[in-house]
Amino acid sequence: MRKSRLLFFLLFPLFVFSQEEAWVYFNAKANEHYFYNNPLKMLSQRALDRRNIQNIALDFKDIPIDQNFISIIKKVSGIQIMAKSKWMNAIHVRGSQNVVNALKKYGFVSKIDFANPVLNQTNKGSKIVVRKNKHLKKEKYISADNETADLQIKMLNGQVLHQQKYTGSGKIIAVLDAGFLGVDKIVPFKRLRDNKQILGVYNFVTRSDAVYTKDSHGTNVLSTMGAYTENSLTGTAIGASYYLFVTEDISAENPVEESLWVEAAEKADSLGVDIINSSLGYTEFDNPAYNHTYEQRNGSTAFISQGAEIAFSRGMLVVVSAGNEGTTKDPYIGAPADAASVIGVGAVNENKNRVSFSSAGPTSDGRIKPEVMALGQNTVVSDENGNNIYLNGSSFSAPLIAGMLACLWQAYPEKTNQEIKEMLLESSDNYNTPDNLYGYGIPDFNLALANKANLKNENLQYFVAYPNPASDVVSVRFPTDFNKGKILFYNVLGQKVLESKVLDLETNFSLEPLSKGLYFYQIESDFISRYGKIIKN
């Protein structure tokens, strides 16, 4: 008996890692014209309305995956289908390298992409490794104070929107996380339950509705947005509605979680969700052969990052924690925070200083990351028992931003997701000189609200550089009471590249010395400082 048990434990790692993870891509879909003519067969009316407001047309990615292809592969011995994606027109499978490669014989298979990139280049097998246990370190201090709970909203000037009754009402947020223990019972979420603001739940890992189980990370995250306990804890979007999706398997770290995330994002899209919040990130897996190298963190390599980018193209905002690896040997943001359209959120302390653990940029292709910052040290959240506790991590700074974005979007429902994102960045305190530790900085949602409101008044169309995009010359119109000042131009690295004096109420500025690209400008006088950005063609 002892020998057989020993043999089992010796062979177990070999068995686990003889099974490879791969994405099998298809080259066609069925009944395209039918679905284009019957869009409600693939998207809800709310999803279609969101697309119409933003002038987003239906396309091939919206067409459901062909179930006949899935049925055929399902019958192949040695193949497990773990997930599917209509956006990618692909399925996630598990099986031996040879069995997976044999799927190429089917004419509807366009390509196979192994999670282990070595297998996509050679016929060599992957290295056998023993899975390491995943440890999540959490710091908890019971009985968090009300003052800090207020601070995390006031740091963003979010209370001003709340005072104007912008609490996210009419907006829907999908929370993609690991588990929501207690949300169905505890007091901080009673308001959400009573008002039926939890619109639906699903566990993509177990293929069931069991989301109020096993883990409380999603509970903590949701509380920063949706919890309400009078004189204790108020979330940033207590008026929003929510879908709760479990995509993280807490028992293992495997690439299939990326595929489940994309499945959940597709579901969110079809339901008409406005904002996806995900305090999840992927760089390392139990099998190191699957790890995302820094070079792969370019926003377009990881399956999850590709999915996040498509989610944005469907008209949703995607808000993701930057990560907590800032003090490690690999301090850079993971996937899907590396995606270009994702709003990556880093962590600051109560003094608005970046916390050292907050993951940094740039992406491997040189883009600024994270985008913005919010309180991520001693953030007040609710635990699974309804107690207010302190937790550290960008996991909690991200939903603070997501909730406030719901409030801002409520105020400007006609805006596109891109416009809302730009409003967020333009209101941030490091907008003029973004960097890869602090991003564009801490947003001021009152400023975001006021700046766009001012644009409705023609008399306040001053201090804006035009045309945009521009060639070699831009103009700025100044009000009659404006006497003297200057305009400064900065490149995307925050370096000043041009400075000119204001000579007249309508002044032309030459951009001839500048190369093509995006620039930020600042108009300064004794009484005013205005910011903007312009593209030189």
Instruction: Tell me which residues are annotated as active site.
Output: 177, 217, 395
Confirm if 339 and 311 have CB atoms less than 8 A apart: no
CA-nearest of 174, 117, 428 to 302 is 117
- How far apart (Å, rounded) are the C-alpha atoms in residues 473 and 465? 10
CA-nearest of 97, 321, 297 to 221 is 321
The number of C-alpha atoms within 13 Å of 21 and in the hemisphere containing its C-beta is 23
5 CB neighbour count, 10 Å cutoff: 9
Residues 6 or more apart whose Cβ sits within 8 Å of residue 405: 275, 317, 319, 343, 420, 424
- How far apart (Å, rounded) are the C-alpha atoms in residues 491 and 519? 5
- How far apart (Å, rounded) are the C-alpha atoms in residues 203 and 246? 5
Confirm if 393 and 321 have CB atoms less than 8 A apart: yes
Three-state SS string over 71-84 comes to HHHHCCCCCEEEEE
Confirm if 79 and 98 have CB atoms less than 8 A apart: no
Q: Which residues are bridge partners to 507 per DSSP?
A: 476
